[in-house]
Amino acid sequence: MNVTTYDQFLRAKMALAQESGFPAKDIHLQLFDFQADIARWAVQRGCAAVFAAPGLGKTLIQCEFARQVHGPVLIFAPLAVTHQTVREGQEKLGMAIQYVRRQEDMIERVCIANYELWPHFVGVGVDAIILDESGILKSLDGKTRRALETHFIAAPMRLCCTATPAPNDIAEIANHAAFLGHMRRADVLATFFVHDQTEWRLRGHAQSAFFRWLSSWSISLNTPGDLGYDDTAFQLPPLSVKEHVLPWNTRTPILQHDGQYCLAQTYKLRGLTDRISLRQQTAVRRAEYAADLALQADGQVVLWTGLNSESTLLAHLLKAHGAVEVKGNDTLDTKEERLLAFASGEIPMLITKASIAGHGLNFQKANTAIFVGINDSHESYYQAVRRLWRFGQHAHVTTHVVIAEQEVAVWENVKRKEQEARWMMHHLIEATREQGMQELLRTPSPSIVPPPVVPHRFSAQATVLHGDAVHALKGVESTSVGLTITSPPFLSLYTYSPTAQDVGNCRTEEEFFGHLRYVVDELWRITMPGRNFCMHLSDVPAMMVRDGWIGRKNFRGHMVDHMEAWGWIYHGECTIDKNPQAQAIRTKAKGLLFIQKQRDASWLRPAMADYLLLFRKPGENAVPITLSDVTNDEWVQWAHPIWYDIRETETLNAAEGREDADDRHICPLQLGFIDRCVRLWSNPGELVCDPFAGIGSTGYIALKRGRRFVGSELKESYVRAALRNLAMIQENAAQQTLFPSVEAEGNALETQPEKACADDA
């Protein structure tokens, strides 16, 4: 990276989208102030997303975005939304937007087409692509999604407009990031998410970084007031949600595909197949009940179905009352004609699916929605409700959810996701206030100022510096350290903390070593000439989701190369034996599992060992190290290139430093490893340093062996644990055993797993 200061490095390290647009000029006066600012921000950003509640004028924003672009623009939109956009652009902004069905029809500078027509526009030369109601991408077939990302990302300006992305729908976020060119799906997963058994989950420590990254290329709001604007003109009417749970038994008739009726069968509601089976068996009862609700409602009614049988039965029951059905196999012209007729108030009842009309359309003339059953998609439910309950709606909106009693669990799941969506929107809006508003108002972002280093010196023998290692070590006297022992954070994003100052929070090896260099340069300054740097590490597994392959990265070899390039002498190394069964149980690495012997033994591999890498600072050692307490037999044992006797479980208790946001059990360095290094390469009374002190394991042994200690640690909970451990060893200094009993030192020792390492499964 071409940076000159540590502050610049940290800013470059943060995962933030870069601008690729240009300053907007003469924003149309028809836009509200918040719409104008968002349009101005999007044009400047170049490739951006607007996540805003229905009715906040996303159509006007995207039209203004298109108006600002100098060259041709192509908008993709859901069915029938195209005509609404054409009309709104003309009536409010006075701009010509042409509805087209193929590339050769494009005459006007700004054109709009349905998503289904994308094959007719492959290779189109435009300056901007706009995806209206871009959240629909995940409900389209995979071919369409891939086509948009493959054939339409050459346009230098790209804009996505939709409602808030669902919190547990990583695909939607990843689709937007990939289309806008900000991050590949695999990188989104590897950077911010962790896989827990069956699903991906946002990492605990990654939350702030994730929302900061998201707000660097998107703007989120539920109302203009969320961003400090006047929202007097944007007030939602009351919304009532009424649940109708219908009793069900095996005597309930079901409508079969041939139009005949038979009796329902027993079932077990487990997966998607069971859900569909139950919905089919209860279709008649729910459709009849929903039809009665529709007949009792005042004004227009939308009946949202999920199965063709539900739609067909409702059309039969309500046709005499003016109901119109819109089906998936209708022609585009038929769908558009009927949907627009309902939107204009010409049709009293509409029967259709959310997958057909649940995005973008304005049905605010209607005030009753009836869900004839429900599925697990909160996003589908939310969008369908918001076709009616949107800004501009003046009537009280009533939503009916008609389900069989066995479907209550599905409905509860949707409501749970509603709470998650509110959580997601809250954090998106907060991030927009902090990051996005700086962009909206074009105010300069502040420099990264790490928190001040707080020294905790509770004796003449030990000091723990709470803060960024680079800044903390600057307070240590030059050439005062006789030995450094540390285990640097491995390449494992957001395992320890959410801050850019964390050396472990790096997306690539290049970035990791770039950050580590600043720390090592400080260690060079404070280390006595001719003295040693003991580094504990292991190789890093390559993961399919992050790297595109499964294997092993030569982290140890790369570390040696970098340390030599930074001036240190590669003095030696030792392999530390590890238990392959314990590693297999902890990491579930496919290369170590017994079952892989039968599946495909080509994947089998040895367990990953730990390593001691020994580096020496050039120069003459002015104070010889005399090993008065190391016997010849001990030296013969320790001089072996493999250490078999380092006990993995002999560590300090890491639970004291654990936080709720931690996704992994972090294990401190083995005390036997530290003790061996302290005794071999330092004299009593000398200063031992650990720039990544953690819970104080190095200091614990240094004090135990009569040395002094200085360490730095970024994470506050670790600092508190380290202070307790150092105080404890001082209190028990009279004890002569290296590893005091649990009874003597409380919970100082605890069986721990190995150092946290990314799973290579």
Q: What DSSP character marks residue 268? A: -
Better-predicted residue by pLDDT, 455 or 149: 149
Q: What DSSP character marks residue 307? A: S
Burial category of 95 from C-beta neighbours within 10 Å (exposed 0-12, middle 13-18, buried 19 and up): middle
pTM value surpassing 0.95: no
Say if CB 569 and CB 618 are below 8 A apart: yes
Give the closest residue to 214 by CA, choosing from 166, 176, 186, 160.
176
Q: What DSSP character marks residue 250? A: T
DSSP string, 519-555: HHHHHHHHEEEEEEEEEEEE-EEE-HHHHSS-EEE-H
**Confidence label for 34 from pLDDT (cuts 50, 70 and 90):** very high
Cite the residue boundaries of each domain of the chain with CATH code 3.40.50.150: 454-750
Q: Does 166 have pLDDT greater than 60?
A: no
Give the closest residue to 681 by CA, choosing from 758, 591, 615.
615
Say if CB 465 and CB 726 are below 8 A apart: no
Cite the residue boundaries of each domain of the chain with CATH code 3.40.50.10810: 6-227
Q: How far apart are CA 248 and CA 411, in angstroms?
A: 16
The pLDDT of residue 165 is 58
Name the 3-class secondary structure at 402.
strand
The pLDDT of residue 656 is 63
- Laid out side by side, the sheet with 110-114 consists of 97-99, 110-114, 73-77, 128-132, 157-162, 47-52, 218-221
Q: Any idea which of 131-145, 548-562, 696-710 has the lowest mean pLDDT?
A: 131-145
Burial category of 670 from C-beta neighbours within 10 Å (exposed 0-12, middle 13-18, buried 19 and up): buried
**Confidence label for 156 from pLDDT (cuts 50, 70 and 90):** very high
The pLDDT of residue 435 is 63
Q: Does 509 have pLDDT greater than 90?
A: no
Integer Rg of the chain from CA: 32
Say if CB 211 and CB 14 are below 8 A apart: no
Q: Does 280 have pLDDT greater than 70?
A: yes
The pLDDT of residue 391 is 84
Please report, in angstroms and rounded to a whole number, the separation of the first and last CA atoms in the chain: 31
Q: What DSSP character marks residue 41? A: H
The listed range with the strongest mean pLDDT (274-288, 499-513, 523-537) is 523-537
Q: How far apart are CA 559 and CA 539, in angstroms?
A: 10
pLDDT over 70 percentage in the chain: 84
Q: Does 91 have pLDDT greater than 80?
A: yes
Say if CB 750 and CB 668 are below 8 A apart: no
**Confidence label for 251 from pLDDT (cuts 50, 70 and 90):** low
Q: Does 25 have pLDDT greater than 50?
A: yes
- Laid out side by side, the sheet with 462-466 consists of 454-457, 462-466, 708-713, 687-690, 481-486, 527-538, 610-616, 569-576, 642-643
Task: Indicate the class that CATH gives domain 454-750.
Answer: alpha beta
**Confidence label for 607 from pLDDT (cuts 50, 70 and 90):** confident
Name the 3-class secondary structure at 172.
helix
Q: How many CB atoms lie within 10 A of CB 612?
A: 19
Better-predicted residue by pLDDT, 107 or 551: 107
The pLDDT of residue 451 is 63
Give the closest residue to 304 by CA, choosing from 168, 392, 418, 403.
403
**Confidence label for 372 from pLDDT (cuts 50, 70 and 90):** very high
- What's the token pair of residue 483? 């030995």
Give the closest residue to 167 by CA, choosing from 213, 216, 211, 131.
211
| Architecture of the domain delimited by 6-227 | 3-Layer(aba) Sandwich (3.40)
Kindly report the CATH number that applies to the domain delimited by 239-420. Answer: 3.40.50.300
Q: What DSSP character marks residue 164? A: P
Q: Does 256 have pLDDT greater than 50?
A: no
Name the 3-class secondary structure at 449.
coil
Q: Across 347-496, where does the E strand assignment appear?
A: 349-353, 368-372, 397-404, 454-457, 462-466, 481-486
Mean pLDDT on 241-262? 63
Cite the residue boundaries of each domain of the chain with CATH code 3.40.50.300: 239-420
Mean pLDDT on 390-407? 89
The residues with which 305 forms a beta bridge, in sequence order, are: 353
**Confidence label for 440 from pLDDT (cuts 50, 70 and 90):** low
Sign of CA dihedral 557, 558, 559, 565: positive
Residue 518 vs residues 88, 522, 523, 569, 666: alpha-carbon distances, Å: 55, 7, 9, 18, 24
Q: How far apart are CA 146 and CA 121, in angstroms?
A: 14
Say if CB 578 and CB 607 are below 8 A apart: yes
Paired sense of beta strands 708-713 and 462-466, if any: parallel
Write a three-state SS string for 77-130.
ECCCHHHHHHHHHHHHHCCCEEECCCHHHCCCCEEEEEHHHHHHHCCCCCCEEE
The pLDDT of residue 525 is 97
Say if CB 503 and CB 511 are below 8 A apart: no
Burial category of 609 from C-beta neighbours within 10 Å (exposed 0-12, middle 13-18, buried 19 and up): middle
How large is the angle between the packed helices 671-681 and 697-704, nearest 10 degrees?
Answer: 50
Say if CB 590 and CB 602 are below 8 A apart: no
